[in-house]
Each structure stands twice: as C-alpha cells, then as structure tokens.
Structure 1
C-alpha cells in the first residue's frame, strides 16, 4: 500500500484553511447582527450596514457548504 503523503498534506492544508475562513466569515456575520442589535437598543433604528454584512457573510457560508455538498455527492456532477 502506497500513500501519497504530499497529496494528503495538501488536502489537510486546504481543509484547515477553508475551515478557518468559514469560521471567520461566520463570526463577521454574527458581529453584523450584534451591530444591528446594539443600534436598535440605542436609538430604536436599524443599522443597515450591519444587516448587509450579516446577510453577505451568512450567504458566503451557505455557498461554501453548498459547494462542499456538490463536491461530495456524485449525482450532482
């Protein structure tokens, strides 16, 4: 049995990198929601920039998950 250690290392590095990136983007989305919440507590209004940030970040996370499912399920190819 032969293992291609270089390929295994590349897969590991990409997996860790994408995982960290998705966690950071999701955290930025939660930060955007927190900005909306703090703006509504202060003056009763909404903070459109925070809401847009949250939606874009969550949409990016959903796109990464959908792409991962696309890569895993062979019927989608």
Structure 2
C-alpha cells in the first residue's frame, strides 16, 4: 500500500486553515450579536446595550458565511 504523504499534508493544512477561519468567523458573529456592558466612571457596570444595526448585519453575514461553508462541505461529501 502506498500513501501519498504530500497529498495528505495538503489536506491536513487546508483543513486546519479552513477550520480556524470558520471558527473565527463564527466567533465574530457571536460577538456582533452580544450585548455590550458599559462601565461607568464610578466603577459600576450598567446593563448591556443592544448591538447597532451595522453590528447585527455583520454578525448575520458571518453566520451566513458559516452556513454556506457547511453546506458546501456537505455538497462535496454527497456529490462524490
């Protein structure tokens, strides 16, 4: 049995990069939808403020990108 180590290394490298990127994009989406707590000058922390419309839009775009990547991965698995 012959193992193509170069191809195995390429698959590992691409998988690692795509996984880290996808987790990063999903994290940006979570941060974009999270309420922001604000610290007052006296040291107290107020309740969270809602994210801006631009922040929510960016977060939803991140979630859509993650869903598209997962859908493409499922497509590649099923199509072959």
| Contact 2:33-2:51 at 8 Å conserved across structures | no
Runs of 5+ unmatched residues, structure 1: none
* 1:64 has 2:62 as partner: no
In the alignment, the residues of structure 2 paired with residue 19 and residue 46 of structure 1 have an alpha-carbon distance, to the nearest angstrom, of: 27
Offset, 1:50:
1.1
* 1:9 has 2:9 as partner: yes
Q: TM-score, normalised on structure 2?
A: 0.79
5 Å-filtered alignment, 1:1-77, equals 1-34=1-34, 37-38=35-36, 41-42=48-49, 47-74=52-79
In the alignment, the residues of structure 1 paired with residue 19 and residue 25 of structure 2 have an alpha-carbon distance, to the nearest angstrom, of: 10
Runs of 5+ unmatched residues, structure 2: 38-46
Between Structure 1 and Structure 2, the one with more helix by share is: 1
Q: Which has the greater radius of gyration?
A: 2
How many aligned positions are there?
71
Offset, 1:38:
2.7
| Contact 2:29-2:60 at 8 Å conserved across structures | yes
